[in-house]
Chain A
């Protein structure tokens, strides 16, 4: 079993839709939770970072962490075609990040 499991997708939504991206993890020692966005042939770009249960909002993006269920989510409101990318969840502890396999999102105009 992988330490981090990410809903595989791919996901295709119309512009303006609310997108939900999800990951589960198995190791309760994980302390830091991150979401990255990766465009084709580019390095991952950090979107959200949190270390506590609850919600963290940044513009159209909301990261949600439920440590009791070992479940993390990223919500994108009013999705735009420019949001089309692969989204990676990452869980970090003691200097090592473990990534999900990524969910590819396409937002159609």
Chain B
């Protein structure tokens, strides 16, 4: 079974631009979460999507948004990029079904490394 895939793997943007990152979960996984990883802050939760609805949200500004499609693929968008947004953005999928349980085990993709200049 194919793992979580993320595109693109590397991205360079300049301040003020916006960026869209894509994630395809493991087949059968409908829960997709996004995380930001930086050397200073570690791995931080951005948001979780299930059935095209955002179910959980971390403490990030509104410039960070996401969506999920009917095939469970997900995108996250960052608008008005700042230098501090340079990070590894990780997507993880699971069999979790919010409100009814399901396996909470998360599997991560390789990440998209974003550099903001």
Contacts and interface: CB of A to CB of B under 8 A. Distances in A.
A43 B96 contact: no
B78 to A, nearest CB: 19
A70 interface: no
Contact of B104 (A32, A36, A44): A32
Interface string A68-107: 0000000000000000000010101011111111100000
B111 A97 contact: no
B110 A44 contact: no
B106 interface: yes
A64 B92 CA distance: 24
Interface residues of A, number: 22
A95 B48 contact: yes
Contacts of B90: 43-44
Contacts of A45: 108
A41 B35 CA distance: 15
Interface of B: 4, 31, 33, 35, 42-45, 48, 55-56, 58, 90, 92, 96, 98, 104-111, 113
The 8 closest A-B pairs by CB, nearest first: A43-B108, A99-B43, A101-B42, A95-B56, A43-B110, A44-B108, A43-B111, A32-B104
